Amino acid sequence: MRHAHHGIEAADNMTPTIVARLASPEFLADPYPVYRQLIEQTPVFWLSHANAPGGMWCIVRYDDIAFVLREAPIFKDTSRIAPPDTLTPLDRAMLQRDPPDHARLRRLASHAFTPRRVHNLMPRIEQISLDLIERIRARGEADFIADYARPLPIIVIAELLGVPFEDHDQFSTWSDQIMTGSDSVLGSEEAARQSQQAMASLIDYFTALIRKRRQYPRDDLISALIAARDASDRLSEDELLGMCILLLIAGHETTVNLIGNGLLTLLRYPDQLNLLRQRPEYLTSAIEEMLRYESPVQRSTPRFAAESFVIGGERIEAGQQISLMFGAANRDPAHFSDPDRFDITRQPNPHLGFGMGIHYCLGAPLARIEARVAFTHILERLPAIRLATDTPAWKPVTWLRGLKSLPVIV
Ligand code: HEM
pLDDT at residue number 47: 86
Q: Is 95 in the pocket of ligand 1 (CB under 6 A)?
A: yes
Calculate the CA dihedral of residues 266, 272, 277, 279 and round it to 10 degrees.
Answer: -140
- Determine the distance separating the centroid of ligand 1 and the alpha carbon of 399, expressed in angstroms: 14
Q: Is 363 in the pocket of ligand 1 (CB under 6 A)?
A: yes
Q: Is 272 in the pocket of ligand 1 (CB under 6 A)?
A: no
Q: Grade residue 181 by pLDDT with cuts at 50, 70 and 90.
A: confident
pLDDT (average), residues 225-246: 84
- Determine the distance separating the centroid of ligand 1 and the alpha carbon of 139, expressed in angstroms: 34
Residue closest via CA to ligand 1's atom 18 equals 361
- Determine the distance separating the centroid of ligand 1 and the alpha carbon of 342, expressed in angstroms: 23
Cα distance between residue 257 and residue 253, in whole Å: 6
Summarize pLDDT for 110-138 with one digit per residue, the tens.
888 888 888 889 999 999 999 999 999 99
Instruction: Quickly name the fold that domain 8-409 has.
Output: Cytochrome p450 (1.10.630)
pLDDT (average), residues 385-395: 94
Q: Is 330 in the pocket of ligand 1 (CB under 6 A)?
A: no
Which 3-state string (H, E, C) describes 152-221? HHHHHHHHHHCCCHHHHHHHHHHHHHHHHHCCCCCCCHHHHHHHHHHHHHHHHHHHHHHHHHHHCCCCCH
Summarize pLDDT for 259-313 with one digit per residue, the tens.
999 999 999 999 999 999 999 999 999 999 999 999 999 999 999 999 999 999 9
Cα distance between residue 119 and residue 370, in whole Å: 11
pLDDT at residue number 24: 83
- Determine the distance separating the centroid of ligand 1 and the alpha carbon of 299, expressed in angstroms: 12
Q: Is 327 in the pocket of ligand 1 (CB under 6 A)?
A: no
pLDDT (average), residues 6-31: 65
Summarize pLDDT for 39-98 with one digit per residue, the tens.
999 999 988 765 545 689 999 999 999 999 999 999 999 999 888 888 999 999 999 999
Q: Grade residue 179 by pLDDT with cuts at 50, 70 and 90.
A: confident
Cα 42 to chain centroid distance, Å, stands at 25
Residue closest via CA to ligand 1's atom 12 equals 355
- Determine the distance separating the centroid of ligand 1 and the alpha carbon of 271, expressed in angstroms: 31
- Determine the distance separating the centroid of ligand 1 and the alpha carbon of 361, expressed in angstroms: 4
